Amino acid sequence: MSLRDAIRTIPDYPKPGILFRDITTLLADARAFREAVDALVQPFAGMKIDKVAGIEARGFILGGAVAHQLSAGFIPLRKKGKLPHKTRAVEYALEYGVDTIEMHLDALGEGERVVLVDDLIATGGTALAAIDLLGQAGAIIVAAAFVVDLPELGGADRLRAAGVEVSTLVSFEGH
């Protein structure tokens, strides 16, 4: 089974007209999960990576596994109010309104080399906010890695335009 086949598509979720790419089926398949983690790690094998940052919540699962494989620390990037210690925050625009992403102030040191990991890149808004947040903390952003790319929404291109190297494993057309 390919990684693409291990990802379930749910029509009309979370709203009509959206095809939701659900990686929980990939995570449940031991072979597909291992293949995805190995493929996410591969571009960074042999590189010095200090930390892997994962975006809540699927990015925690993938990012934790990637950090383990790279012998790197892990930084959870969470929605506002979810982290217990002093935090740094970035607000970013959503289709309707704004959201906030946070990390602990002591999550990384100046000049540490960081890879951002999440399950999917769509419009890129959350990933760009995460890159901004990590950059404010002094991180050197090595790259951003995602299992799924929705190229029609342009998120990966937006990250590349911002100077971030992007790697993805599977592309799906549509939203």
| Separation of alpha carbons 77 and 161, rounded Å | 22
If one counts the domains in the chain, the total is 1
pLDDT digits (tens, 9 = 90+) for 70-122: 999 999 999 999 999 999 999 998 777 899 999 999 999 999 999 999 999 99
How far apart (Å, rounded) are the C-alpha atoms in residues 102 and 130? 8
Tens of pLDDT, residues 30-85: 999 999 999 999 999 999 999 999 999 999 999 999 999 999 999 999 999 999 99
Helix (H) or strand (E) holding 121: strand 113-121
DSSP 8-class letter at 33: H
**Does the annotation count 95 as an active-site position?**
yes
Task: Name the active-site residue from 34, 88, 91, 95.
Answer: 95
The boundaries of the domain holding residue 126 are 36-171
β pairing state of 8-11 and 98-104: unpaired
Q: Tokens 């890129």 map to which residue?
A: 124
Reading the block at residue 10, the tokens are 């749910």
In a domain, 118, yes or no: yes
| 34 carries an active-site annotation | no
Q: Tell me the pLDDT band of 175, cut-offs 50, 70 and 90.
A: low
Q: Annotated catalytic residue: which of 58, 78, 102, 112?
A: 58
Q: What is the pLDDT of residue 72?
A: 98
| CATH assignment of the domain containing 42 | 3.40.50.2020
User: What's the predicted TM-score (pTM) here?
Assistant: 0.96
- On whether residue 2 sits in a domain, the answer given is no
Residue 11, in any domain of the structure: no
For strand 140-149 and strand 113-121, is the pairing parallel, antiparallel, or unpaired?
Answer: parallel
